[in-house]
Structure formats: C-alpha cells, structure tokens
Structure 1
Amino acid sequence: MNINFAKQFKYYGKIILITILVLNTILLITWGISSLRALPIEYMLEDAASLLGYDQFIGFLTPIGAVVLAAGIGAVLLLAVVKKKDLNQGDHQIFMALVFLAGVSLFLLFDDLFLMHERVFTGWFQIGERRIFLAYGLVFATLFFINRKGILSGPIVFLVISFLLFGASMASDLLTDKVSLSATITSSMKMLEEAAKLGGYLFWTVFILMKARSLLVEEED
C-alpha cells in the first residue's frame, strides 16, 4: 500500500493546523488559569485522585479529553443510525474499522476517567504497568491488523500524528516514573505527557470524523 504522506500533509494542511490550534488553545487556557489563580501547573494536569488520594477521578484536562473522544464515538453511532442502504464491500470494511476505532476511543475514555491502568489494574489487581501496556498493545495491534484495509485508507496522516503523540506521552510518563528528575523538569515532562495525550486524542478523533463523514456524504449522494 503506497501512502504519500507529503501529499496528505499538503492536502489536509488546513485541518492539521486547525487541530493544532485547538490543542494550543486548550493548553493556553490551562496555563492561564494556573497563572491567574497562582496554582501549580500540576494541579491543572493531574487527576484529583493522584493529587489528593481521594476516590475522585476528575482532573481539569480529563473531561476535555473525554469530550474529544466522545465526539468520535458519537460520529460512528450517527453513521450506524442514519445509513439508509447496505454498504458495498469497501464501505463495509471502512464502517467496521470505524466501529473498532470507536471502541478504542471508548476504552481510552474509561481508562482516562477511571485511571484503569494507573490504579485499578496496578493497585487492585497488582499487575505491572509495563505488562498492562504490553497487553494493550497486543490487543490493539491484533484488531488493527484485522481492520487494516478499512483503516489504512483516506487521511492516514492524522492517525500517524496521533500515534506519534501517544508515543511521546507514554515515553514522558515512563521517564518520570523511572528516572529521578528535578521538580522543574518533572513538571515540564508532565505537561508534555498530558499535552501529547490530548493532542493524540484530537488527531485520533479528527481521523474518525473524516472517515465517518466520507461514508455519510456517500450515503447522501
């Protein structure tokens, strides 16, 4: 499969820039509230449970990420409801791929809201974080391979950017957990972790929305 990333970057450049602008706006608002209220930036990034030790799973960026992921899930549900005729084989592959991507979004949403890999699996079931990430990776890679024909069509550049951002977020998380860093560097790495994760959510959801739109427009035609 020949994918011309340079061509896709040029063609979808405006949407990529808009997505980056949305991400930067959210991060600027986060930093602004932190500065205005003289709050440590960690308070705006961490979940309340991590900061205070309470059974409360809401941080500032967490619900924003949940809304972003929910937008992609909603688009796939809308597609499932409004389609009026049977899809051809190619479109059916894309639809099933979208169902898989929406399922991943739902999983990420629950994982983020309820700290599944940070507290539930590691704390309640005593499973190491690296084993959890490995299990996640194997499951997702298997399902991705099964749905590869439906996924690897259209604006794949958005999916690639989201993967790169997710990788940066995970690397930052592992680095702060394994390496002793100064408070300033730790704070910066935490900001990078959360910013990259939110950026990954945005580009992931844009990818879902654009693929869902392609089927909806085809249905309307």
Structure 2
Amino acid sequence: STVLIKQIVSFTCRSHGFSPRNISLKWFKNGNEIAASQTSVDPEGDSVSYSVSSTAKVVLAPGDVRSQVICEVAHVTLQGGPPLRGTANLSETIRVPPTLEVTQQPMAGTQVNVTCQVKQFYPRDLQLSWVENGNVSRIETASTLTENKDGTFNRTSWLLVNSSAHRGEVLACRVEHDGQPAVSANLTLEASAPQKDQDTHEHPGEASTPTHLALNFCF
C-alpha cells in the first residue's frame, strides 16, 4: 500500500548473528544522517552471538519520490571493510496526490481551447475524463505526460469547444489517481472573455557473514 505525503513512516533495521556485542548502526536519508528513535542490542549479558534492532521515523515530503533511507552497520569482524547497508526506496511506497487547474483560451471564431492541467502527482497511473453538466460526454482531443525533476508527473489534457453553443454549461476535468476517490476541477464556459471557476512492508537489505541486515518500514 502507498503512503500519503506528510505522513510518518517508521523504518526498522535488524542485524543478527554477530559477536562481540559492540556494533555501530547509523541511519541516512539521501546521504544525510538522521536520528534513530530507538536502538537496542540483545541479549544484555554474555552470549555467543547478538542482534541489534533500530527504528527511525521519516515524514514524507512531495520531493521524496526519489529519496532513499539507508541503515548502515559497522562491526569489528568486518575487518575494516565497508559497512553493511540496507536500503529502502521511497518510490515504492509514497503517493503524491495531484493538483488540478482548468482554464480556457479563445481560438478562431467561437472556438475555445479548454485545458486541464494535472500537476505533480506520483505514481504515474492516472485516469482523466471530461464531464459536461454531470455527464461523461467529452473525449479529450489530446494529452501530454511529462516527468518533473523530483520524479513526480504532470499531465495536460485539452478540448476544443464551441463556446456559443455551450455557453453557461459547466465543464469538469475529473481525475482518478492510484485508486483514490476522484477529484475534479470545474469551469463555466463563456462565449466572451475566458472565465475560470475552479473547484477546487518490508524492504530487506542483506549481506553475508558475519552480519545479516534487514530494513523494514511501516506506517
């Protein structure tokens, strides 16, 4: 399931089968270290092997589509080699809802170009339909899909409408995204100047001996 932006996701990192007990575990988001909310090493006393569990919490932001959360473990038995890492790609769980805007521009004669801009959404799967006076009766003339630098998407759809024949009618752009309830933006057609009336899991990371690393997240 996906997680909406501004929600908190908890990531859990576990490593086991190591000895001695001393171990270093750090969290990073996009290369920047973040604090763990809880870390424990078990058992408390002497043992032939130990396990560590750590949790970090991250508030998802719109720009996190391409973000990574990494758990990094270093232990003396790695003999100076690189630390073990478990990685969670936020693109696998984040959902960024779209924003909609409907505008009209006059064309030749009584034709107007009605445009629906669906901005900054993720994932890319999206259904768009045009609704006239409450009925799905319009087929889009064309549409474009573009990807933004932050990994979100924009979609633009447009129609050519005879404004004289349909003056005063309400035209709506309706969008269904990622299985969520439909959202729409409305525009009242005008024959003269354009006028806008808008309504507005788990991710394992593993390594060989001496340490096994697993990184999970939940919300």
TM-score (norm 2): 0.23
Structure of higher RCO (CA pairs closer than 8 Å, 6+ residues apart): 1
| Structure richer in strand, relative to its length | 2
| Structure richer in helix, relative to its length | 1
TM-score (norm 1): 0.23
